Amino acid sequence: MEIITKNPEETKKIGRTLAKYVKPGDVILLYGALGTGKTTLIQGLAEGLEVNPDIYVTSPTFAIVNLYEGKIPILHLDLYRLESEDIEELGLWEYVSNSVIVIEWADRLSRIYWEDFLEIHMDYLNRQGRVISFVGYGEWSELLKALGKDEELALLL
């Protein structure tokens, strides 16, 4: 599935819509160059999961991981600055749980620990345009079909 967004608001909307489909323990891997909108999409997800709007959702550069309390808690990681040994040490495969895990710069992972997960790839189209494509693995291949039919996204598809 592929969606083109024309501005950050539309990218947030994807995150908000995605929030209707996620459940505790879900893993979302984000790929895409600097500034393609990974964090922007996560801001929308946080809105959709009713994270307190006073909490600023931004890449956890020094903390490694940010936790936002919402209808489902969100664990937000950004692997950009981490070395591969550090990433191994995070023990990501053990982060089972009551949270949704979202990982920016997932291409830094040397292996994928999960069977059910959603990949989101973000690319530049032009200044405010982004091409966002989704690949679902395991149960996420079905969930993605439902997301693709969601009327909130219909206008963007």
Ligand X SMILES: Nc1ncnc2c1ncn2[C@@H]1O[C@H](COP(=O)(O)OP(=O)(O)OP(=O)(O)O)[C@@H](O)[C@H]1O
Q: Which residues bind ligand X (CB under 6 A)?
A: 5, 7-8, 10-11, 32, 34-40, 59, 104, 128, 130
> How many residues of this chain interact with Mg ion, rule: CB under 5 A?
4
Residue 7 touches Mg ion, criterion: CB under 5 A: no
Residue 16 touches Mg ion, criterion: CB under 5 A: no
Residue 59 touches Mg ion, criterion: CB under 5 A: yes
Q: Which residue is nearest to ligand X (CB)?
A: 37
Q: Which residue is nearest to Mg ion (CB)?
A: 39
Q: Where are the alpha helices (DSSP H) in 19-136?
A: 38-48, 84-89
Q: Is the CB of residue 80 less than 8 Å from the CB of residue 59?
A: yes
Find the shortest distance in angstroms from Cβ 115 to Mg ion.
Answer: 26
Identify which of residues 104 and 119 has a Cβ nearer to Mg ion in the complex: 104
Query: Which partner in Mg ion, ligand X, none is near 48 (CB below 5 to 8 A by kind)?
Result: none
Q: How many CA atoms lie within 13 A of 77 on its CB side?
A: 22
Considering only the C-alpha atoms of the chain, give the largest distance between any 2 of them, rounded to a whole number of Å.
43
Find the shortest distance in angstroms from Cβ 97 to ligand X.
Answer: 23
| 80-114: burial string, b at 16+ Cβ within 10 Å, e else | eebeeeebeebebeebeeebbbbbbbbebbeeeeb
Nearest to 113 by CA among 128, 123, 103, 99: 103
Residue 43 touches Mg ion, criterion: CB under 5 A: no
Residues that bind Mg ion (CB under 5 A): 38-39, 59, 104
